[in-house]
Amino acid sequence: MANARDHGTQSGDSITIGLTFTQQDLASMVGATRESTNKVLRNYQSRGLLRLDNHTCTVLKPEALRRQMELSGPVGDS
């Protein structure tokens, strides 16, 4: 499975990825709605796991984000 290190630039602990897709594109990739994808991204931002701005996503705490994603299970609308 691809990860942030495969597509981004590492600086210290954080990884910055240039985004060339919309939230709708991301939602389609993971089988969710744009709204639920936005909610998850906002949650991760509020918890300091990532930052979205200027067509970039910076994963501030890659290992904490990975653990959270593993605990959450598959992404999608239930």
Domains of the chain: 4-72 (1.10.10.10)
Q: pTM above the 0.85 mark?
A: no
Of 1, 25, 18, 3, which Cα lies nearest the Cα of 58? 18
Q: Over the stretch 10-42, which tens digit does the pLDDT of each residue have?
A: 888 899 888 888 889 989 988 999 999 999 999
Q: Which pLDDT score, from 0 to 100, does residue 26 have?
A: 87
Q: Quote the CA–CA distance of 5 and 32 in Å, as a whole number.
A: 24
Dump strand ranges (E) for 1-78. Answer: 9-11, 14-18, 50-53, 56-59
